[in-house]
Structures are given as C-alpha cells and as structure tokens.
C-alpha cells in the first residue's frame, strides 16, 4: 500500500514539475520588449556604461541641435551631461558633469571606474570648426568625481573599444571629420588604467571605422563598419577576432547582411546586434531586428524585434536584460523610450551556485 502511495505521489510531483517546466518555457518564448521609462534629456550620440548594475549616459548632443538632415551640417555638438539610471527602481538622477563637453565618444569600465575616450565638439554648424578631442577622463560613481587622464596617442573618430584583463583596446577609427579628411585606420592602441600609460597591439587586418566591438571569452570581435573613404562608402560585413594572449587576429565568417548603426551587447557567450540601418538607401531605412551571434560556433539566431525600426543611441546588459536607450527612425524621428528585453540568462553567483532563473531551459524566441 505504501509503495502504491509513493508511486502516485511521484507521478503527481512529476506531472506538476512537467507543467511548471512547460510554463517556464512558454514564458520565455513569449517574452517581448517592454517600455520602462524615457530619457530625461533628449540627446543623441552619448556614451553608455554600467557600474554596480546602474547605467550611466554620458555626453552627446541635444536632439534639437542635430536633427537637421544633410546637406546641412547641424550643430552645435557636445554636452557634459551625465544621467544615472537605476533599473531596480526605474529612476533617474543627475550626476557630476563631464569636464569636456563632447559628442561621439566611447566609454569603458575598469574596476568600477568609467573611462571616456575621444569624441568631438563644435560651437556652431561649420564642419571645419569641429574639433577632435584626445582627452581621456575618468569618472568614479562612488565619489561622483571626474579626473583627467593621459591623452589618447592620436586623434580619431569612429573607433570602438573593448576591455580585457584590465586593459582598454581602442580599435580603428578615422583621423578626421568629413570625407576629404577621413582616413580609416587599422591601428590598435592599448590603455592601461593602472599606470595611465599607452601601448600598441598588432594592427587590425581590415582598415575601418568599426561599427561595434564586443568581448567574448577574452577575445575582441570587431563587427562591420566602414572602409577608408577612398575605397568607396560600402558597408563592411567583415568580422575579425583578436586574441590578446597570442597577439593574433583571425578572420571569421561575415555578418548575415550588411548594416550599420546597430548597437551590440554581450550576454553569456553571445553577441546581440540590435537595430541599425541596412544600407545607404534614400530615404533611409531602419531595422527592428535583433541578430544574435555565437562566436564559438559562428552561428546566428534572433530574438523578438524591437517595437519600432531604429538606430539605437545606446544599449547595455544588466542581469541578463537588454536595455536600449532611445534611438532615431525614419525621417530622423526621435525615440526617447527606454526599452528592456529579458533574455532569461542569469550568471551563477559564487555563493549560491543556483541561477535566479533557469536559463538552460529557456525557449527559443521567435519573431
């Protein structure tokens, strides 16, 4: 009798576990983007950084100053504004202004300190008055203070960067603004925050303004971008990976399709390419798709698309969630929305050894 009772109990527990598992899989498969807040400052081309699960939006330019379309060169360029967003409370607060107002810079985080590199600014709409900035400035969120660091070795724009083992790798970029001044580089400079010193790494095989750089398993992946102006303004689909231990570059399979202006974030061992522009068509077209690249297998998948096609201004990952901060769409329409998508991935904590959510059984999202 007891064995029968145990048998029935096991069947019931098994059924309940199966139902819960199916519900969990369906909840992941049905996941979609959620609008959680809006940008406190309507600006574009700012830098983003994450420290202690808080997101920092740095610099950029006011949307009202740059919304004019070519052939008019808009301006002025350059803000000092720093906004902090707390995903847990869904609240914003202003922080200390960056010392140098700038637009189009890049940021990196090392040991809880945010480092801001390069960019440019201008007080009017004359392209010849745009000034490239070599400044490196460091922000400590705990003290809310900025410190000046050693300048970049060369002025550059359109570069990107990645952090490995406490060092910041600045990759590619151009030497000037405007087609007649742009000379895309293959140069790779390495910054050591601990010593405030610069070094060099082997040149990237493909000279370009990289659209995005991502770090997975201590390798840098340079994805897409633009070749030198003299080579024609064709969007690149090239993916190249750099191994800083062996100091070697390796060519990977190309992107699925040419596009630029997308944002990238890394969750787990995968790189997410969010939104962007599929070509040089006039009027300009925009994408809502999110492509997910697995570097080890060089395979692709996708997750649910953004609510609207856009070129995102910034994207970050916090606790397995993707946050997209504003963007621009067809007709230079400004989107101030902050969107979030939960991938279901949770890193294993050293103390608990259990995932907050069971990422291993998440359903494959479909568009």
Over the stretch 336-363, which tens digit does the pLDDT of each residue have?
999 999 999 887 544 333 333 332 333 3
Other CB atoms within 10 Å distance of the CB of residue 41: 17
Q: How far apart are CA 191 and CA 32, in angstroms?
A: 38
Residue pair 277/309 in contact by the 8 Å Cβ criterion: no
Q: How confident is the prediction along the chain (367 residues), in pLDDT tens digits per residue?
A: 434 334 444 444 444 444 444 444 333 333 699 999 999 999 999 999 999 999 999 999 999 887 654 545 667 889 999 999 999 999 999 999 999 999 999 999 999 999 999 999 887 666 567 789 999 999 999 999 999 999 999 998 899 999 999 999 999 998 765 555 557 789 999 999 999 999 999 999 999 999 799 999 999 999 999 887 655 568 999 999 999 999 999 999 999 999 999 999 999 999 999 999 998 777 889 999 999 999 999 999 999 999 999 999 999 999 999 999 999 999 889 999 999 999 998 875 443 333 333 323 333 333 3
Other CB atoms within 10 Å distance of the CB of residue 208: 26
**122 Cα distance to chain centroid:** 25
Q: How far apart are CA 119 and CA 106, in angstroms?
A: 7
Residue pair 28/362 in contact by the 8 Å Cβ criterion: yes
Torsion angle of the four alpha carbons 295, 300, 303, 309, in this order, in degrees rounded to the nearest 10: 100
Residue pair 215/162 in contact by the 8 Å Cβ criterion: yes
pTM assigned to the model: 0.84
């Amino acid at each position: 009798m007891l064995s029968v009772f145990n048998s029935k109990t096991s069947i019931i527990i098994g059924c309940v576990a199966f139902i819960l598992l199916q519900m969990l899989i369906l909840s992941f498969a049905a996941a979609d983007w959620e609008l959680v807040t809006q940008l406190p400052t309507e600006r574009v081309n700012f830098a983003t950084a994450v420290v202690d699960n808080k997101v920092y939006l740095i610099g950029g330019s006011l949307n009202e100053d740059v919304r004019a379309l070519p052939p008019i060169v808009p301006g002025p360029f350059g803000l000092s504004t720093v906004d902090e967003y707390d995903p847990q409370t869904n609240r914003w607060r202003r922080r200390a202004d960056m010392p140098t107002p700038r637009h189009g810079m890049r940021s990196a985080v090392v040991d809880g300190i945010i480092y801001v590199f390069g960019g440019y600014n201008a007080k009017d709409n004359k392209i010849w008055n745009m000034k490239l900035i070599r400044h490196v400035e460091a922000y400590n969120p705990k003290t809310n203070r900025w410190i000046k660091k050693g300048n970049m070795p060369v002025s550059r724009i359109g570069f990107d960067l990645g952090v490995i083992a406490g060092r910041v790798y600045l990759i590619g970029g151009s030497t000037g603004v405007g087609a007649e001044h742009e000379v895309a580089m293959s140069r790779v400079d390495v910054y050591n925050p601990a010593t405030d010193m610069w070094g060099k790494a082997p040149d990237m095989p493909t000279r370009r303004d990289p659209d995005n750089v991502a770090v997975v398993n201590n390798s840098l992946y340079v994805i897409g971008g633009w070749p030198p102006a003299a080579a024609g303004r064709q969007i690149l689909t090239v993916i190249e990976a750099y191994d800083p231990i062996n100091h070697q570059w390796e060519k990977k399979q190309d992107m699925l399709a040419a596009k630029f202006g997308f944002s990238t974030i890394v969750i787990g061992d995968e790189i997410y390419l969010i939104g962007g522009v599929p070509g040089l068509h006039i009027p300009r077209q925009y994408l809502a798709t999110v492509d997910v690249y697995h570097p080890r297998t060089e395979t692709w998948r996708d997750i649910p698309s953004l609510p609207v096609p856009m070129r995102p201004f910034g994207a970050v990952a916090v606790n397995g969630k993707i946050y997209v901060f504003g963007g621009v769409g067809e007709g230079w329409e400004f989107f101030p929305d902050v969107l979030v998508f939960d991938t279901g991935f949770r890193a294993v904590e050293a103390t608990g050894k259990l995932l907050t959510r069971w990422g291993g059984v998440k359903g494959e999202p479909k568009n």
